[in-house]
């Protein structure tokens, strides 16, 4: 267990207070910062491939491999002929189905922007909390961005989860049934292997975690705004 001691440094308006990282406002922001990294790393860093085992005229059990990766434009992934003679002229290059770039890029872009905002917010919390608390515009801006980001995490994660499901279908055994080259007389195609997509499932889980964190953090950010303070003053006056 690492205990963060309270340190105050005054230099050019900077008051370094690491103790704020142990409070809910700072601690949750650290978690958001970490999970945003995991979200865009697990999605944006994915690389996979599909291998078919093809037998046709003059070729027996030849592997044909097609690679795919972020941003998952599967309609550009091609299965080329297993031999220079193109199976005696019966082979026509075919592609996977689907373009999931919009969902993937939306998810990764949001994760990157959330990471950058969390970095800036942590600098503000740790070094300039006295400025943050004195100027009411900063807490209100923080609250607005937190609410919007929580909603965007919900939308992007739902879209990306649907895209992951469709990617699994598009890279499954159904590609053989749809390929005209595999239907040619004397040609057989078997699905040899597909890269496991557990990493993509993990990216969806991190999207859900980010949504929960940002949604829960709305309350802690709201407590530092004038809206919460005015309600408390009204209650005390009553």
- Considering just the CA atoms, what is the radius of gyration of the chain in Å? 26
Reported as a single tens digit per residue, the pLDDT across 146-189 is 999 999 999 999 999 999 999 999 998 888 888 888 888 889 99
Task: Let me know if 145 is exposed, middle or buried by CB neighbors in 10 A (0-12, 13-18, 19+).
Answer: middle
Residue 233, pLDDT score: 47
Residue 81 lies in a domain: yes
* Whole-number Cα distances in Å, 177 to 10, 49, 173, 205: 69, 18, 7, 32
pLDDT in tens, 102-125: 999 999 999 999 999 999 999 988
Q: Could you tell me if residue 10 is inside a domain?
A: no
Residue 1, in any domain of the structure = no
Q: What's the number of domains the chain is made of?
A: 1
* H or E segment and range at residue 106: helix 101-127
Residue 98 main-chain phi, psi, to 5 deg: 115, 145
Q: What is the pLDDT of residue 129?
A: 83
In a domain, 122, yes or no: yes
> Which residues form the domain of 48?
20-236
Residue 104 lies in a domain: yes
- Give the pLDDT confidence score for residue 227 in this predicted structure: 62
- Share of residues in the chain with pLDDT > 70 (%): 87
What pTM, to 2 d.p., does this model score? 0.85
Q: Give me 157's structure tokens.
A: 């994660």
Domain presence at residue 13: no
Divide the 238 residues of the chain into consecutive groups of 10 and give the mean pLDDT of each group.
41 62 84 95 94 90 92 93 89 92 96 96 87 83 94 97 94 86 89 92 96 92 71 48
- pLDDT at position 125: 87
> In angstroms, rounded to a whole number, what is the distance separating the alpha carbons of residues 21 and 122?
8
pLDDT at 229: 54
Torsional class of 86: left (φ above 0), alpha (ψ -120 to 50), beta (otherwise): left
- For the chain, strand residue ranges (E) read 10-11, 14-15, 47-56, 59-69, 78-79, 94-95, 188-194
Kindly state whether residue 50 falls inside one of the protein's structural domains.
yes
What's the rounded Cα separation, in Å, for the pair 5 and 22?
A: 10
Largest CA distance in the chain: 91
> Do residues 12 and 166 touch, judged by C-beta distance below 8 A?
no
pLDDT computed for residue 11 by the predictor: 44
- pLDDT in the model for residue 235: 46
Q: Is residue 201 part of a domain?
A: yes
């Amino acid at each position: 267990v690492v205990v963060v001691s309270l340190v105050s440094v005054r230099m050019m308006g900077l008051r370094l207070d690491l103790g704020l990282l142990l409070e809910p406002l700072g601690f949750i922001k650290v978690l958001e910062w970490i999970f945003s990294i995991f979200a865009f790393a697990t999605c944006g860093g994915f690389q996979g491939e599909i291998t078919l085992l093809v037998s046709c005229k003059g070729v027996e059990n030849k592997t044909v491999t097609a690679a795919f990766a972020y941003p998952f434009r599967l309609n550009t992934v091609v299965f080329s002929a297993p031999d220079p003679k193109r199976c005696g002229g019966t082979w026509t290059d075919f592609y996977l189905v689907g373009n999931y770039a919009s969902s993937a890029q939306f998810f990764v872009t949001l994760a990157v922007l959330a990471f950058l905002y969390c970095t800036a917010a942590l600098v503000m919390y740790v070094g300039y909390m006295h400025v943050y608390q004195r100027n009411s515009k900063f807490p209100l801006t923080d609250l607005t961005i937190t609410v919007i980001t929580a909603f965007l995490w919900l939308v992007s994660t739902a879209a990306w989860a649907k895209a992951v499901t469709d990617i699994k279908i598009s890279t499954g055994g159904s590609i053989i049934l749809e390929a005209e080259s595999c239907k040619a007389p004397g040609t057989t195609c078997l699905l040899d292997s597909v890269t496991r997509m557990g990493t993509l499932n993990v990216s969806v889980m991190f999207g859900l975690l980010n949504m929960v964190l940002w949604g829960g953090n709305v309350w802690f950010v709201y407590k530092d705004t004038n809206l919460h303070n005015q309600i408390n003053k009204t209650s005390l006056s009553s």
